[in-house]
Every structure is written in structure tokens, then in C-alpha cells.
Amino acid sequence: MMVPAFGTEIVAHRGASFDAPENTLASVNLAWQQKADAVEIDIYLTADGKIVAIHDKTTKRTGGGKDKPVVEQTLAELKQLDFGTWKSPKYAGERIPTLDEILKTIPEGKRLFIEIKTEAEILPELKRVLTETGRPPAQTPLICFSYDAIRAAKELLPDLKAYWLVKLEKDKDTGRLNHTAAELIAKVKAAKLDGLDLGNSPPLTPEFVREIKQAGLGLYVWTVNDADKADEYRTLGIDGITTDRPELLRERFQGKAKP
């Protein structure tokens, strides 16, 4: 796989979602045009067992206002909906993409982070699609908030990198985080995962990052749209930064030496 130009992967969050409608081919292809190192998408199962890229459980927000769960609609029904107009009239008629449609767009040396939004029921179809498309395992890392689902994914697809998504939160009274680095490291290693993908709010401290990296784990952070904060994380040696604005981060990193 291609080594990121700036030492840290720039991962386009739902594609270039600041500029284009998230989780669409327009957004994904724009991210590649903006020279993102990787793209992140979200996946759900349709009523007829197909995998589509969408963040929400329902199509209300991005699918033209139809407030119905994705899992209760067939692929044909979903393909009738407009997933572009909510973002801008110029994207009117943009359709929901299937996973295999997005996999076909990945340039050589780039990666697609696939966020599993369900539990383990999606995994057999995910394995089928990935097997049929024939992408190298290194191109399709998996991420998921569900510890049980990402552990099952790693068991079913051991050749793929798998990262546990965790949102860190501070207790209002004590100021303590809901997870220590040691606790996260233990859980990741117990599930034989490859690392963590952590939220940027509250910001990760150098000590927290150092502890995870010293444990030999991969570490990604989401969603960072501030160029100064992204540059700070890059200096700390974080493996990848997920952002709605891949072009902004690339422009910031451009011309700077690798830390």
C-alpha cells in the first residue's frame, strides 16, 4: 500500500462531505480528486439483504425526507430516493450507492474504511461482497462502535485490519474520562483487533496517544476539521485523521516535513 505523503493518513469522512452529499459516489469521487489517502463510509443492510452506504438508520435526513428505516426498504426502493438535494441543488438526483459500487472507485494505493453501523448480521454479506470484488485486504479496513460486532468481523475476516470506534467522554463532576488508555488497550488486544479509532472531543492528550502507540496499536481520530488540531495530531504520530475537509488538511500539511 502507498505510504501517506505526510506520514499520517488523511481519511475523508463519508467522502468529501463538507463539499458534497455524504456517503454518495459524488462525495467519494471528490475525495479521491482532493487526494485523500482514504475514504470512510457507513454501511447498512437493505430489506433484501444488500449493503448500501448511509450513516443514519432512516432515510429522513439525507434521502429526501422519507422517514423510514433503511432495513425496511429494498435496494430498488432506496435507489428511487434523492440523496443529493438536501446538500445542494447541483447534486439533485444523486442516488444511494451500494458497497460494491464504492469499492470500484478506490484508486491504487488508497483505502476505504468501512464503518459497520449494524451488529454482526451484516457480516456474511460483507464478506461475500469483499470476496467477489477482489480488493486486496489492505484496502478495506473495518471500523465499528459495537465491540461485539467488530470482534466478530475480525474473526470472520482476519486478513482485514479492524479498529474499534470509541467516543471518549469526561465526567462532569470528576473530569475523568469514561475509558482509560489501559482499559481500551486491554479490550482491543482481547479481541485481537488492530487498534482504535477515537473521537476528537475531548481532544486526545499526548500521554493518551503515547500509551496506545507504545502498546503497538494503530490509532485514528475523528472528526477533525481544524487544520491546527490536525497538524498537532500529526506531530503526535497518530496514524490517520478523519475529516470532512481532506483538501484543507492536505493544504495545511503540504510542504511540511514529516515529524
The CATH number given to whatever domain includes residue 191 is 3.20.20.190
Going by pLDDT thresholds of 50, 70 and 90, the confidence category of residue 1 is low
Nearest-CA neighbor of 255 among 6, 4, 2? 6
Tell me, yes or no, whether 3 lies in a domain.
Answer: no
Tell me, yes or no, whether 4 lies in a domain.
Answer: no
Asked if 149 contacts 116 with a C-beta cutoff of 8 angstroms, the reply is yes
The whole-number pLDDT of residue 6 equals 85
The whole-number pLDDT of residue 96 equals 98
Asked if 74 contacts 56 with a C-beta cutoff of 8 angstroms, the reply is no
Only one residue has cell 470509541, namely 166
Going by pLDDT thresholds of 50, 70 and 90, the confidence category of residue 258 is very low
Asked if 123 contacts 154 with a C-beta cutoff of 8 angstroms, the reply is no
Exposed, middle or buried, 190 (CB in 10 Å: 0-12/13-18/19+)? Answer: exposed
Please list the residues that pair with 222 across neighbouring strands: 199
Give the residue-averaged pLDDT of 127-145: 97
Sign of the alpha-carbon dihedral angle for 241, 243, 247, 253: negative
Please give the grid coordinates belonging to residue 165.
Answer: 470506534
In Å, the largest CA–CA distance within the chain is 51
Separation CA 135–CA 38 (nearest Å): 14
Q: How many CB atoms lie within 10 A of CB 67?
A: 9
Only one residue has cell 474473526, namely 155
Going by pLDDT thresholds of 50, 70 and 90, the confidence category of residue 257 is very low
Give the residue-averaged pLDDT of 32-38: 97
φ, ψ at 188 (rounded to 5°): -65, -45
If you average pLDDT over every residue of the chain, what do you get?
Answer: 95
Tell me, yes or no, whether 159 lies in a domain.
Answer: yes
The whole-number pLDDT of residue 68 equals 97
Tell me, yes or no, whether 226 lies in a domain.
Answer: yes
| C-alpha distances in Å from residue 212, one per residue of 14, 154, 215, 230 | 26, 20, 5, 18
The whole-number pLDDT of residue 172 equals 85
| C-alpha distances in Å from residue 227, one per residue of 134, 153, 250 | 35, 33, 9
Helix (H, G, I), strand (E, B) or coil at 174: coil
The whole-number pLDDT of residue 133 equals 94
Q: For 48-76, what is each residue's pLDDT tens digit? A: 999 999 999 999 999 999 999 999 999 99
Q: How many domains does the chain have?
A: 1
Give the residue-averaged pLDDT of 156-177: 94
Q: What domain range includes position 80?
A: 9-253
Tell me, yes or no, whether 102 lies in a domain.
Answer: yes
Going by pLDDT thresholds of 50, 70 and 90, the confidence category of residue 206 is very high
Amino acid symbol at 223:
T
Give the residue-averaged pLDDT of 224-242: 96
**Continuous H helices in the chain:** 25-33, 75-78, 99-103, 123-133, 147-156, 181-190, 206-214, 227-236, 246-253
The whole-number pLDDT of residue 259 equals 44
Helix (H, G, I), strand (E, B) or coil at 25: helix
The whole-number pLDDT of residue 3 equals 67
Q: How many CB atoms lie within 10 A of CB 56?
A: 16
Give the residue-averaged pLDDT of 188-192: 98
